[in-house]
Amino acid sequence: MTTQAPQNESSSAKQIKQSEKPAPGSLIMSGMRTTHFMHIGNYHGALKQWLELQKDYVGYYGAMNWHAMTSSYKTPHDVMKFTRLIIAEWLAWGLDPDRNVIFVQSEVPEHVELTMFFQMMTPMSWLERVPTWKDAEEEAKASDTHNLGRFMYPVLQAADIAIYRGTHVPIGQDQIPHLELSRDIVRRFNFLYGGNLPEPKPIFSSTPTLIGTDGRKMSKSYNNAFQLTQEPDEITKTLRAMPTDPARIRRENPGEPLKCAVYGFHKLYSNTEDLAWVETGCRTAGIGCGDCKKKLGDNINAEMMGPREIKRKLLADDEKLDAIIADGCQRARTEAKKQMDQVRSWTGFQGNSDW
């Protein structure tokens, strides 16, 4: 005899669809692993969307240093350095610490506590199926990251969202399996304990996968990512090293912008006039690759100038940055504690004052 999965636990999560605009009052929750400096992929794939969302919604944005530790556990000091740097970057680009709650994951231990509950009821098979675990096994063994913490990465992520009753999660397409799992875990939790945690819905960014400075997919592991906020001379250096359309061996050889990573960056940073200039100039050999890169550098620099200044000031003023971070952590913790009280009451794990 087969046992039917109960209706309310059945999995509809596999049908995550393109997101609609969240209803007023929705709670946005998202975060970034703090393994590295921020690159422009993180900006176009996540932060840019947070900046849009903050106009209409309250958001909880976490610097996820426990998630960073799942792979960077050998260098915790670096993880903390990037945690601070990434928050400074968010603030510099305009994420408002008054309108949102900006926090550090490890400063809110309730994430870990809720993870304990979640990992009890998450079947191993659910985690074994996650592509970031399954597909990277050999690589992970070679780099000493075939570890329990990384195996349960998505469980911690589910707790990140649920601890604030997040309803919507802005994520890149690569995060879909993690969000599906979050929904499955929350649904199972609610079913088992009579909870009412919301099943989080994704909000996808419209930015397609970015191409890195070497023409391959932009990824920190390929070391081809373009740092979000750079000094002008660093921008020039990065651009100088970028390959162009191989057909342009000489200045007089015409090229094809669509085959060139430099043009991909122009599309992100240049206006229509400059784009037309590149397209025509490249195809007719009217401009050289040096001219093309110079224009791109100027445009990137123009966009980075404001945030670069704010970031510099923030990092130079430890007290101010510390105060902003401490305030966000405290506000996050207050909410997380409330939710943990609920979880304790649903599960009977309330403790007893006589003990």
Element (H, E) at 60: strand 58-64
Count, residues near ligand SF4 per rule CB under 6 A: 14
Q: Binding to ligand TRP by residue 29, rule CB under 6 A? A: yes
Which residues does residue 300 pair with via DSSP β-bridges, in sequence order?
none
The CB-of-182 to ligand SF4 minimum distance in angstroms stands at: 41
Q: Which is nearer to ligand TRP, 106 or 244 (CB)?
A: 106
- Min separation Cβ 211 and ligand SF4, Å: 12
Dist. CA 325–CA 331, nearest whole Å = 10
Contacting ligand SF4 within 251-270 (CB under 6 A): 255, 257, 260, 262-263
Extract the tokens encoding 21: 């605009």
Contacts of 159 (CB under 8 A, 6+ apart): 111, 112, 114, 115, 118
CB of 41 to ligand TRP, least distance (A): 10
* CB closer to ligand SF4, 10 vs 284: 284
SS3 at position 218? coil
Our CB check for ligand TRP shows the closer of 130 and 314 to be 130
Return d(Cα 186, Cα 184) in angstroms, integer: 6
Min CB(237)–ligand SF4 separation in Å: 16
What does 171 interact with, of ligand TRP, ligand SF4, none (CB < 5 to 8 A by kind)? ligand TRP
Near ligand SF4 by CB under 6 A: residue from 69, 289, 325, 340 = 289
Instruction: Report the amino acid identity of residue 281.
Output: G
Closest separation in Å from C-beta 279 to ligand SF4: 8
Do 191 and 9 contact (CB within 8 A), yes or no? yes
The span from the CA of 19 to the CA of 279, in Å, is 34
Written as one letter, the residue type at 313 is K
> Residue 169, interface with ligand TRP (CB under 6 A)?
yes
Taking the least distance from each CB to ligand TRP, the nearer of 161 and 261 is 161
Which lies closer to ligand SF4 via its Cβ, residue 97 or residue 297?
Answer: 297
Pick 160 or 245: Cβ nearer ligand SF4:
245
**286 alpha carbon, distance to own chain's centre:** 40
Cβ 353 to ligand TRP shortest distance, Å: 34
Give the number of other CB atoms < 10 A from CB of residue 260.
24
Q: Binding of ligand SF4 at residue 47 (CB under 6 A)? A: no
Give the orientation angle of helix 65-72 with respect to helix 76-92, to 10 degrees: 140
- Of 101, 162, 282, 314, the residue at the interface with ligand SF4 (CB under 6 A) is 282
Q: Decide: is 218 part of the binding site for ligand TRP (CB under 6 A).
A: no
Q: What is the amino acid identity at position 288?
A: G
- Sign of torsion over alpha carbons 101, 107, 113, 115: positive
> For residue 212, what are the contacts with CB-CB under 8 A and spacing of at least 6?
218, 219, 222, 224, 225, 226, 261
Q: How far apart are CA 108 and CA 28, in angstroms?
A: 18
- Minimum distance, C-beta of residue 261 to ligand SF4, in the bound complex (Å): 8
Q: Is 219 exposed, middle or buried (0-12, 13-18, 19+ CB in 10 A)?
A: middle
Q: Cβ(132)–Cβ(151) under 8 Å? A: no
Contact residue for ligand TRP among 36, 39, 44, 67 (CB under 6 A): 67
161 makes contact, choosing from ligand SF4, ligand TRP, none, with CB < 5 to 8 Å by partner type, with ligand TRP
Please report how close the Cβ of residue 235 comes to ligand SF4 at its closest, in angstroms.
15
44 binds, among ligand TRP, ligand SF4, none (CB under 5 to 8 A by kind): none
Tokens matching residue 122: 């998450």
Q: How many residues bind ligand TRP (CB under 6 A)?
A: 14
Which residues are at the interface with ligand SF4 (CB under 6 A)? 244-245, 248, 255, 257, 260, 262-263, 278, 282, 287, 289, 292-293
Which residues are at the interface with ligand TRP (CB under 6 A)? 29-33, 64, 67, 157, 160-161, 169, 171, 175, 178
